Chain A
């Protein structure tokens, strides 16, 4: 029931948004819906601690991992939907959007959220693939929402690259299915379900599984934004409206990563830890290094945030490569912390773009003097992003590094620490240039920030810090969720 409720709420909101033309209250309704999903998600976390939940004739299934992902999705989508009325008003004022496109935007946003929820709540690994592919279709028009040359180009690139990548993931899924059929010797109705695959995971043919896992890493890796198929990410994230970027960067990437986590468990069971670990370390390090290089000389604010997403996805891949329960728990905490932080950053960057009319970092300086509240929030979020204590990213990165060293990946840790310190320097420099300095324009008085904007963002940052200081409410949940993907 709980699972059905979580899926039904955004679905109902979608129908509501489809049924009427755009009004600001619909935006608030989507926020209410996200809040409800968040509540049900937390409840689901509590119930799944004592065992998995099933629904709809065993086609939907929730364990602690799914429940945790529901919470992450709901949190970030709450932040994003809270900004929907504001973004739409701003865009309509400046003539980017009409009521018609605002309606499309709300519908697609809800479809997008529903697809992500379905991806984490389905019992079947094939349906997982279908829903992740469906997010591509839903988000394409969100990326091209602003209807500029750049937006069209970004969404074209996004669809083509993600479809190519996800096709590989489908091939990988099919190969896993083939190996499963071969291991069980018969077709049954629950073939390709997570539980039935895991039941025979130790007997899957190694040759087929190896190829399948490689395809899955490249395929889902495209959607995660891992090298080598990352190039859609900076374009899409920089061209989409801010709430969409927040959702894509904050959760879409990690939902795809959730798929990888599940398949990693299958691959480790069938192949032993070495092959999956090598593959994940390679893509993780490659993504990290690429992000570092691109961040040093970045000039665009939103592209900078996008490359930082690639960096964090690389860190997640390294954490998953270590694969101990501790590492996976840290990966999950990192997913939550990164989701919240990135959402705050993209949303405030959207506001900066609206006020300043550009995202080119060289064009604005002295933000702190001119817009203290907005710049303050942005600055703290940036501090959180570079994993400063007390924010939770510090805890999760530290724990991941520890787990990686324990797993014998000290050299990968060494490389990632070098990259992280370079990124730290680069982001600090970019941040200082934007926030500090004298106000170049002659604004009369420092502008204030509307409470409807400030309150959610500040709350999110406080929550992020609280998670870092006291992670106890999550500890048993994270440990439980990590156990799910232990082979």
Chain B
């Protein structure tokens, strides 16, 4: 296998990943809304509704709040850009995307957190009450979720002896018994809690609410309209897709592309879609079954996630 082919397939995989996230992210949001609607006995909007919304928003004119600074138009771009970079280098379809060697798990985490920080700043920027409230809540949740996230990351890297995501995935493929070991399962529990918190799903935040008392994420984007809202929403949807597919790949790595043939690229794509849908289905069912927690009960949930991740580290150390 020549170096050129390797690079070529790397580029192909990266392209597929970005396109998949860009289209699949909004679709994933639609699928989850549909699943929830069905589970609740409603018909629900079509799955492509988020894409249609994006298209509509993109044709509208740009409107800015009177006191907004340059942060307001910049924030959606930062969110989108950071998510695209993270999605491009993460091992989603292939374990060897372009620049996969720099896909350290910490890099991915902090790329995504850059997006969160940008969103919080955007919420503050217009200087309205709701935006600030949303930002402060989102930052509180983020600060509580971050320790759990980092410790869970450590747990994952202890087992494989590396914090490079593609290497973690390929070593998991060679040791399938890890997946059902207690360390990995505990880390999965912790990561699920963190992902739910970071993507603003029930029981942490309700994406469908606009109630002043409870909204978190919706409060931050209250001042957005038109193309900027479209960018913002697209970025958030891609983030959701990226996080779900990363969780899916970490715990069900099978099907990911490890060699360089067209068939495995196709297989990897199909497998990724299937696995991510599985995770989305799981999260949607959790959402249906649970009620949103009151804000001051959130620390309990996230502390639980933290303990699970510490447990994952300790059992990882113990059973290594």
Q: Do chains A and B touch in the complex (CB under 8 A)?
A: no
- Chain B interface residues (CB < 8 Å from chain A): none
